[in-house]
Structures are given as structure tokens and as C-alpha cells.
Chain A
Amino acid sequence: MSGLVITNGIRFLILLIVQVLVLKRLSPGIESFNYIHILLYPLFILLLPLRTPQALTLGLSFMLGLMVDVFYDSPGVHAAASVFTGYLRGLVLGYMEPRGGYNVNFSPTKERMGFRWFAGYAAVLMAGHLFFYFSMEAFTFAYFADTLLKTLFSFVVSMGFVLAVMFVFNPES
């Protein structure tokens, strides 16, 4: 139990620091095509243990988003997206439950659930997170086409990062 708390606490801090210090400075798009944001921090929400109470998931998501917001100078934007992802996570987990049910003592990692399951799970949540994030950033539906383009291109790159992290570190819990 305390092991889980420590693992997730460290994951929280590392993902936060990597996001706000390293990834924030990267803008891989070329100048006239500035649509790519790399968001890796939602991985924390994805990898919370399966038995995490929903309220705690939402609370932690909100905190993580708010801290990212501090560094991005955009109070509320990442927080709103993270809370959305935290809520979505419960629904997606419900839909994607394997026939034998989950072993709730673990996190839904690639190692535990298999690559195909994890890729699908991460894709839905990352797409949801990015779409919500860019909608909040524009805070209007006037730039809907822009928002979709940003979501699409950022999704490809961010998913690449999420899967790369899973392959490199391959966490079990």
C-alpha cells in the first residue's frame, strides 16, 4: 500500500517536472504550422492504481493540472482538462474491462494489461485530454477547426511519448 503511494508520488513529481521544464520548451511544429504540443503528464492519471477511489483520482488530477498551469501561466486550463481526463478514466475502464475483471491491486500498465489494451486505453484518454485542453485554451468554439487540428497533431506526438515511456521504463505498477 505505502509502496503504491510512493511510486505514484514519485511519478507525479517526475512527470510534472519533465512536463513544465523540458516539454514546455519544445515546440516541434514549424513556424507557419504551430500546432504541436507535447503533453506527457496525463500519463500519471492513466497509471493510477485501479482501486484508487474516484474522488481521489479527481482530486489528484485537479492538483496535477493546477501545478502544470502554474508553470504554463494559464490558471485552470490544464486543471479543467485533467479533471475531465480523471473522470473519463473511470468510464473508459468500465467499458474496457476484460472478461475476468481487473486485478484491482495494480495499475493498468502495458506490462499488466498487454500492449493492445494499453494502447487503446491511452489513446482514448489522451485524445480526450488534448481535445478538452485545446478547447479550454481557445475558450470558444469559434476556432473549432484549429482545435481539431491541434488535437490531431499533438495527439500523434504525445501518444508517441506515452508509448515510448511505457516501452523504456515498462512499469509493473
Chain B
Amino acid sequence: MRNLLEFLARFGGFFLFLILEALSFFLIVRFDDDKNRIFLSSSNAVAGYMLKKYDAVADYFSLPGELDQLQEENKRLREQLAESYYAPDYDVDTVSLTVRTQDSIYSKGVVVRDTLQKQDSMATQIYAYVEANVISNSINRRNNTLTIDRGTSQGIAPRMGVIGPQGIAGIVKTVSKHYASVVSVLHSDISVSATVKHKGYFGALVWNGPDPRYMQLEAIPKHAEIAAGDTIVTSSFSGVFPAGLLIGIVESVTQNPGDNFHNIKVALASDMSRTGRVYVVQNKWLEEYKQVQKQEEDRK
């Protein structure tokens, strides 16, 4: 007994060191598959509250940049409005348009507005958006995360997409009642299904670091004709993001000898260092989509 005590007095610190390191390693490795990890993430109530309070102050310094981004986004959305299109026999006045629609007088120009009106009654909304404020963000680590001030009480759930004013920003990972932590597109776990606009090739967008302005598009075979300047948008496969959402522009395409795929460097449209306001994408058809995928997998 005395020997044991002497042994512990001499080497106990070292053993405690090993035990605590083992515990840390366990946490690092286990991070991906534990529902209780909310407790250890920035989306927990205390951490979220502190980040939010601090962000309320720090926000003032980033506001000018954020406003520019939002204005740019508004401009883009405005340009998609029916009023921005020219139609020869089309009066902007809504009442007369409704009459015309009822009279079944269709012309090319009216179709845009017509579609918008139909959304009320006929078209079904697939994607809904929840606006959120980024209360914590980083870009200089290997695995970057965002924390946002929306949680389960606003309908946020894991695996939902997060988009900024200029493009995709990340995917929700853990959610508490009022906060959520989001895996940034600048994270080693991220993989976004993406496609080359007008060309149809699709691949997986990943981030190998360290430059936060670029991502890498993988799994596009060498025979695909891709050049710098091509636009990369989200594909419709994942159900996480709406299809056709801008991700970025191809910066360079290189080939490794002995590899069947292109090395494609994509310049991100989002400036991740200034992402202050984001939208969380809720896919209302996700359950159905998952069921179909599951059926497909079961059949195999």
C-alpha cells in the first residue's frame, strides 16, 4: 500500500496527464456522432448568449460591409421581378393584369408575372428561408464553424443548408433551442453537391484549406470540358440547397498525371470573412426526398 502511494506521488501527475489527454482525444474523435455534443458546442445556451451579446456590439463595425452585400443581393432579386422585364402588351397595373389573365390573353412577357401570381394558388413552395444573424464566425482554422442565433424554436434542424447574400455559407450541424452551430464551407467535413452551369457536369465541392477564398471541385472526370471562368452552382441532388444557387467561378483547372479527375479550383462568390446575415434553407419536401432515396437504397 505504501509503495503504491509512493508510486502515485511520484508518477500520479503523469498518469493524470495521460488520462486527460486520452479524454481530449476521445472528444476530438467522437465529435461526429454524438447527439449530446450540443453541450460542447457553441450552440449551447450559455455560449450562444455570450456570443450574441458580444456580437451585438461588434456588429456595428461590420455593418457597412454587410449593407453593401444586402443591397447587392436586393439588386439581383429586383432584376428578377416581373417589373424588370419588358412585355409589349403588358400593363404593370396589377388589376388589369389579373383581368387579362382571366381573359386568357397570354403573351411571352406576361408569363413571368403570371408565374408569380400562380405561386399563390397553384405552385407549391419547396424551399422556405429563415433569416439569421451570424454571431460567431472564423475563417483561419482547418475546421471553421459559424454560430447563428436561430434554433429549434425557429424550426432549424441539423442538415439544413445556410446561404449568405452572395452564395452558400454552410450546413447546420448542432441545434439548441435558440442557437445553432453551422459547419462552414471552410471545413474539412463539408461536401456540397455542385454542378457546372450550362454544362451539366457534377461533382463534390470540398475545402482543403488554407485559403478561405477558394474551394476545390472534385470528381469531375478528365474528359469533361471545363475552363476557367465557368460558373459553379448547387445541384439538385442533395436537397440541402435549392438547385442553381451560385457558389463561385472556376479559377483554374489543372490535371495530375495518373489521376482521372480534374483539379478544379473554385473562387467562392461568398466572402466568408464578412458573412454577417444568412438564411437557413428549409426543404419542405426533405422527408419525401429521403424516403425515395431510402427506397432506392433498399432495392440495391
Contacts and interface: CB of A to CB of B under 8 A. Distances in A.
Interface of A: 17, 20-22, 24-25, 27, 29, 31-32, 34-37, 54-55, 58-59, 61-62, 65-66, 69-77, 79-80, 83-84, 86-87, 90, 136-139, 146
A71 B51 contact: yes
Nearest to A81: B24
Nearest to A26: B140
Contacts of B41: 70, 73, 75
Contact of B54 (A21, A27, A29): A21
B171 to A, nearest CB: 13
Interface residues of B, number: 43
A73 B145 contact: yes
Given A31-B213, A87-B17, A137-B142, A55 B28 contact: no
Interface in B24-39: 24-31, 37
Nearest to A138: B142
A132 B46 CA distance: 28
Contacts of A146: 210
Contacts of A136: 24, 28
A27 B17 contact: no
B133 interface: no
A108 B21 CA distance: 25
22 contacts: A21-B51, A25-B137, A25-B138, A27-B138, A27-B273, A31-B273, A34-B209, A35-B140, A35-B210, A37-B141, A59-B20, A62-B20, A74-B141, A75-B40, A76-B25, A76-B29, A80-B25, A83-B17, A90-B13, A136-B24, A136-B28, A137-B141
